[in-house]
Structure 1
Amino acid sequence: MTELALGNVTTDCAHAAGLAGFYAALLDRPVDAGASEFFATVGRESGAHPVLMFIKVPERTPGKNSVHLDLHAPDVAAEVARAISLGAKHVADFAEYGMIWTTLADPEGNLFDIGLKLP
């Protein structure tokens, strides 16, 4: 049995508190106390898992993998509309592998998906 466990989902960004605020609103969770333009988390104080962590970097490292969150919802269209109202941009819709999902970009251009959760 492995000792590894998922602790955080970390996103390099231009403004940590601002991007944390977007995901906090999207997930209906608060941004943790002490958030700044350099470092912010969502879920650490409430014990949510995984914790979303945002760290300011001077510029994105070329070739470095970007974060990709898959969010599940029973009403994909409603959650996509809500994400767009919070500042996300629609990228594309997909229906593959027996699933449907929408790819969006957060306010800093990081891609994420909202789709149906498989039973």
Structure 2
Amino acid sequence: MTELAIGHVTTDCAHAADLAGFYAALLDRSVDPGATEFFATVGRESGAHPVLMFIQVPDRTAGKNSIHLDLHAPDVAAEVARAIGLGAKHVADFAEYGAVWTTLADPEGNLFDIGTGQA
């Protein structure tokens, strides 16, 4: 049996503290103490798993990110509206594979989904 576990979901970004602030607000969490433009986390202090980690990099990969967060909510429309109010941009709405979700882009253009969690 493996001892592997997901420790962090890491996002390369231009400004770590700002992007951490967006996701902290979206998830109703706090940015962990010590956040800077270079490095920030959400969830480490509270013991949440996985911890979201944001690291400033000078050379982000261009194009669509191949890994993204799927967030689940009972009221998708309300959470999508709240995300947009926090600075996300609406990308598209989907109803496929027995699930319904909305794809958004965070303030730095990283894609994430908010859906019902039913597939």
Is this a same-fold pair by TM over 0.5? yes
Q: Which runs of 5+ in 1 are unaligned?
A: none
Write the distance in 1 (CA, Å) between the matches of 2:97 and 2:64. Answer: 27
Write the distance in 2 (CA, Å) between the matches of 1:66 and 1:108. Answer: 15
Q: Which residue of 2 aligns with 1:82?
A: 82
1:43·1:49 contact (CA, 8 Å) conserved in 2? yes
The residue correspondences of 1:60-71 to structure 2 (distance < 5 A) are: 60-62=60-62, 65-71=65-71
SS in 2 for 1:24: helix
Q: Which residue of 1 aligns with 2:114?
A: 114
What is the TM-score with the length of structure 1 in the denominator? 0.95
What is the TM-score with the length of structure 2 in the denominator? 0.95
Aligned-pair distance for 1:66?
4.9
Q: Which runs of 5+ in 2 are unaligned?
A: none
Which amino acid is the alignment partner of residue 114 of structure 2?
A: I
1:32·1:43 contact (CA, 8 Å) conserved in 2? yes
2:65·2:111 contact (CA, 8 Å) conserved in 1? no
Q: 1:67 to 1:34 in 2, by over 3 A?
A: farther
Aligned-pair distance for 1:61?
3.2
Q: Which residue of 2 aligns with 1:96?
A: 96
Q: Which residue of 2 aligns with 1:36?
A: 36
Write the distance in 1 (CA, Å) between the matches of 2:2 and 2:18. Answer: 35
Which amino acid is the alignment partner of residue 101 of structure 1?
A: W
* 2:47 paired with 1:47: yes
Which amino acid is the alignment partner of residue 74 of structure 2?
A: P
Runs of 4+ aligned structure 1 residues displaced above 6 Å come to none
Write the distance in 1 (CA, Å) between the matches of 2:96 and 2:83. Answer: 22
| Identical columns (%) | 86
When the two structures are aligned, how many residues end up with a matched partner?
119
